């Protein structure tokens, strides 16, 4: 599938049997199947298809940036086969239900997110007796075609993948705390090599420094 045809619709006939095992897999990581997992699976399939990748994958030819944590990630992971521990799935916590898919070799990228009005449109895809919003989303997100459910657009990463992924085996020590820093996450301040915590970009503060 060429990159220029980023509007990919899995035929509605094929959709349900394809979704079923992926939803089971996503739900197995939780105690439930929820609408966000369904969106994760749908977005995972659509984004990979937009870049012309078969999924699930167990190589490192595609990397995804997922914009929130939680249930949504389970769906993305079930569909794509990519994961944090293999460094093929990265969380950029913007608190949004969106994913950017990147072809590692070409750095071509697409971002996929639900259309803004999916919660209203979902009612067209559920039975007339369905009154509950949650279950309408759960069912509707499985049935809506990509063109109704998703917004897919080409994007460019703000940093290169090479910078983001770095290289294995690169390590330096922070000149303040002494801890080892891998993946070129150090910063240089006044000629000192510092980890980001010591550089004031930490997510915690030490209460009683010994
Ligand atoms: Zn959930
Ligand atoms: Zn440090």
Quote the DSSP letter at residue 78: H
**8 Å CB contact between 146 and 110:** no
pLDDT in tens, 33-60: 999 999 999 999 999 999 999 999 999 9
Ligand 2 centre distance from Cα of residue 11 (Å): 52
Ligand 2 centre distance from Cα of residue 66 (Å): 27
Q: Which ligand has the nearest atom to the CA of 195?
A: 2
How many of the other CB atoms lie within 10 Å of CB of 143? 17
Crossing angle for the helix pair 12-28 and 71-80, to the nearest 10 degrees: 120
Q: Name the residue among 3, 42, 17, 55 with its Cα closest to residue 151.
A: 42
Contacts of 13 (CB under 8 A, 6+ apart): none
> What span, in angstroms and rounded, lies between the C-alpha atoms of 150 and 161?
25
**8 Å CB contact between 40 and 73:** yes
Ligand 1 centre distance from Cα of residue 75 (Å): 10
Q: pTM of the entire structure?
A: 0.89
Query: Domains, the chain, ranges and CATH?
Result: 12-163 (3.30.1330.130), 166-201 (3.30.60)
> What span, in angstroms and rounded, lies between the C-alpha atoms of 69 and 140?
22
Q: Which residue has the tokens 């030819």?
A: 61
Quote the mean pLDDT of the chain: 92
pLDDT in tens, 62-94: 999 999 999 999 999 999 999 999 999 999 999
């Amino acid at each position: 599938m060429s990159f220029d045809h980023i509007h990919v619709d899995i035929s509605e006939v094929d959709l349900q049997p394809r979704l079923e095992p992926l939803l089971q897999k996503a739900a197995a990581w939780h105690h439930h199947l929820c609408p966000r997992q369904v969106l994760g699976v749908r977005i995972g399939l659509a984004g990979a298809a937009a870049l012309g990748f078969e999924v699930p994958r167990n190589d490192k030819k595609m990397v995804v940036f997922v914009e929130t944590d939680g249930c949504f990630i389970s769906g993305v992971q079930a569909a794509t086969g990519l994961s944090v521990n293999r460094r093929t799935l990265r969380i950029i916590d913007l608190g949004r239900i969106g994913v950017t898919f990147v072809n590692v070799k070409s750095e071509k990228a697409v971002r996929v997110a639900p259309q803004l009005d999916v919660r209203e449109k979902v009612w067209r895809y559920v039975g007339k007796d369905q009154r509950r919003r949650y279950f309408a989303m759960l069912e509707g997100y499985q049935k809506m075609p990509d063109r109704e459910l998703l917004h897919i657009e080409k994007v460019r990463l703000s940093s290169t993948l090479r910078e983001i992924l770095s290289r294995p085996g690169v390590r330096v020590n922070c000149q303040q705390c002494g801890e080892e820093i891998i993946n070129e996450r150090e910063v240089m301040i006044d000629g000192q090599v510092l980890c980001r915590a010591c550089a004031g970009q930490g997510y915690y503060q030490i209460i009683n420094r010994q």
